């Protein structure tokens, strides 16, 4: 199996909801996906944390994946978030998403359960044994309650050929470098922290699955391509222009700020599903200022 699925920028897509009933707003979603593709992102990632996958029911998830595949029409890779904290459910969703035609599945390490390293290995082995679709690990300890260590990641990468990459959102740059240093040939390391994308690429990483590219897809994906090409002067300028927005996107729990920003931009309605609520008034000036620093013109 070819291990490199994409190199560059994958956008962790927001899921727009309708204001009247919080059903999926497919009209806004189509426009958002089209803008991402035209701005040059290499991959689209629905159903991650940014996409509020935890509050979408099973049928909504499949409907969303199918819709994005149709809009993308092979103009960008589609990597669907299919991970849950239940191995059997993850296997089922991954199989059905694979049948729809996804490029790969993004599988988060199980949250809440806090499995041991051996439990993590068996979880991912079970998914890999049940489907032929390429898998991307997703390590995000701040949400799962447990860290997928470099040792466990490297063991998985060596033992499971269909594991093609990791989205590393531990925030631990030394852990990321340990994976890059010892990974098998072709295994990709993607930043899961927007603000660490540049240093991770400089350390040998392959790209990012990002939040900020929802708001600034052209500038951010251009920064990533420049960094991958070794043009660090140009990449650095874009990085620092975007850094305030990268930070502002986490003034409150993701995706609260990014959805507020996109609403300020006129892209989507500012609607979230409970238990998430709209951005507090005290954070709106900082978010607006960060958008303007990034060169985004607000209506």
**173 pLDDT above the threshold of 90:** yes
Q: 219 in the Ramachandran plot: left (φ > 0), alpha (ψ -120 to 50) or beta?
A: alpha
pLDDT at 3: 66
- What's the whole-number mean pLDDT along residues 189-203? 98
Is residue 65 very low, low, confident or very high in pLDDT (cuts 50, 70, 90)? very high
Whether pLDDT at 299 is above 90: no
Q: Any idea how long the chain is?
A: 299
Model confidence pLDDT, tens digit, residues 34-53: 999 999 999 999 999 999 99
Q: What is the mean pLDDT of residues 2-29?
A: 93
Predicted pLDDT of residue 6: 87
Structurally, the chain folds into a number of domains equal to 1
Q: Which of 61, 77, 138, 259 is catalytic?
A: 138
Check residue 5 and give its pLDDT: 84
Tell me the pLDDT tens digit for each residue of 148-167: 999 999 999 999 999 999 99
141: its two tokens: 């300890």
CA dihedral 153, 158, 160, 161 (to 10 degrees): 120
What is the average per-residue pLDDT within 81-107? 97
Q: What's the mean per-residue pLDDT of the chain?
A: 96
Residue 4 is predicted with a pLDDT of 74
Position 127 in a domain: yes
- The pLDDT tens digits for 110-141 are 999 999 999 999 999 999 999 999 999 999 99
Which range marks the domain in which residue 181 is found? 8-232
In this structure, what CATH number is given to the domain that contains residue 31? 3.20.20.70
Which residues, other chains included, contact 173 with Cβ-Cβ below 8 Å and sequence gap of 6+?
Answer: 196, 199, 200, 203
> What is the predicted pLDDT for the residue at 154?
97
Query: Per the domain annotation, does 194 fall within a domain?
Result: yes
* Separation between Cα atoms, residue 106 and residue 138, nearest integer Å: 6
Please report the pLDDT score of residue 234 as a whole number. Answer: 98
**pTM recorded for the entire structure:** 0.96
Task: Mark whether 138 is an active-site residue.
Answer: yes
The answer to whether residue 138 sits within a structural domain is yes
Q: How big is the chain by its Cα radius of gyration, in Å?
A: 18
Q: Is residue 102 within 8 Å of 65, Cβ to Cβ?
A: yes
Tens digit of pLDDT for each residue in 246-291? 999 999 999 999 999 999 999 999 999 999 999 999 999 999 999 9
For residue range 206-228, what is the model confidence (pLDDT) as tens digits? 999 999 999 999 999 999 999 99
- Whole-angstrom distance, CA of residue 105 vs CA of residue 81: 6
φ, ψ for residue 72 (rounded to 5)?
Answer: -65, -40
Query: Per the domain annotation, does 35 fall within a domain?
Result: yes
Query: Has residue 275 been placed in a domain?
Result: no
**Measured between alpha carbons, how far is residue 229 from residues 42, 77, 158, 168 in Å?**
15, 21, 28, 21
DSSP string, 21-76: T--B-HHHHHHHHHHHHHHT-SEEE-SSTTTTGGGS-HHHHHHHHHHHHHHHTTSS
Residue 267 lies in a domain: no
Cα 218 to its chain centre, rounded Å, is 17
Residue 176 lies in a domain: yes
Q: Is the separation of the CB atoms in 161 and 1 below 8 Å? A: yes
Q: Bin 252: left if φ > 0, else alpha if -120 < ψ < 50, else beta.
A: beta
- Residue 92: strand, helix, or coil: helix
Closest CA to 216 of 244, 196, 191, 189: 244
pLDDT for 73 beyond 60: yes
Residue 1 in this model has a pLDDT that exceeds 60: no
Query: Is residue 141, in this structure, part of any structural domain at all?
Result: yes
pLDDT for the residue 2: 54
Answer left, alpha or beta for residue 33, where phi above 0 means left and psi between -120 and 50 means alpha. alpha
Q: Give the active site residue among 61, 167, 183, 259.
A: 167
Supply the pLDDT for residue 12: 98
């Amino acid at each position: 199996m070819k291990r490199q699925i994409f190199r560059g920028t994958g956008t962790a897509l927001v899921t727009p909801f309708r204001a009247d009933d919080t059903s999926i707003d497919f009209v806004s979603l189509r426009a958002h996906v089209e803008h991402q593709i035209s701005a040059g992102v290499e991959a689209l990632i629905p159903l991650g944390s940014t996409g509020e996958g935890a509050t979408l029911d099973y049928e909504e998830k499949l409907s969303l994946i199918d819709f994005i595949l149709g809009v993308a029409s092979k103009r960008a890779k589609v990597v669907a978030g299919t991970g849950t904290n239940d191995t059997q459910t993850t296997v089922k969703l991954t199989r059905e998403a694979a049948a729809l035609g996804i490029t790969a599945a993004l599988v988060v390490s199980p949250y809440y359960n806090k499995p041991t390293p051996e439990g993590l290995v068996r979880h991912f082995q079970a998914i890999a044994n049940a489907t032929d679709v390429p898998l991307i690990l997703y390590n995000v300890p701040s949400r799962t309650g447990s860290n997928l260590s470099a040792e466990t990641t490297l063991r998985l990468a060596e033992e499971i050929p269909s594991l093609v990459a990791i989205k590393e959102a531990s925030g631990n740059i030394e852990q990321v470098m340990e994976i890059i240093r010892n990974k098998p040939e072709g295994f990709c390391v993607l930043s899961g922290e927007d603000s660490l994308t540049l240093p991770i690429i400089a350390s040998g990483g392959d790209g990012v699955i990002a939040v900020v590219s929802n708001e600034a897809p052209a500038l951010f994906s251009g920064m990533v391509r420049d960094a991958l090409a070794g043009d660090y002067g140009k990449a650095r300028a874009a990085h620092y222009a975007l850094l305030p927005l990268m930070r502002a996107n986490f003034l409150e729990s993701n995706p609260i700020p990014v959805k507020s920003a996109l609403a300020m931009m006129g892209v989507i309605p500012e609607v979230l599903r409970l238990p998430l609520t709209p951005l507090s008034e005290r954070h709106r000036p900082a978010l607006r200022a960060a958008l303007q620093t990034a060169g985004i013109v607000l209506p």
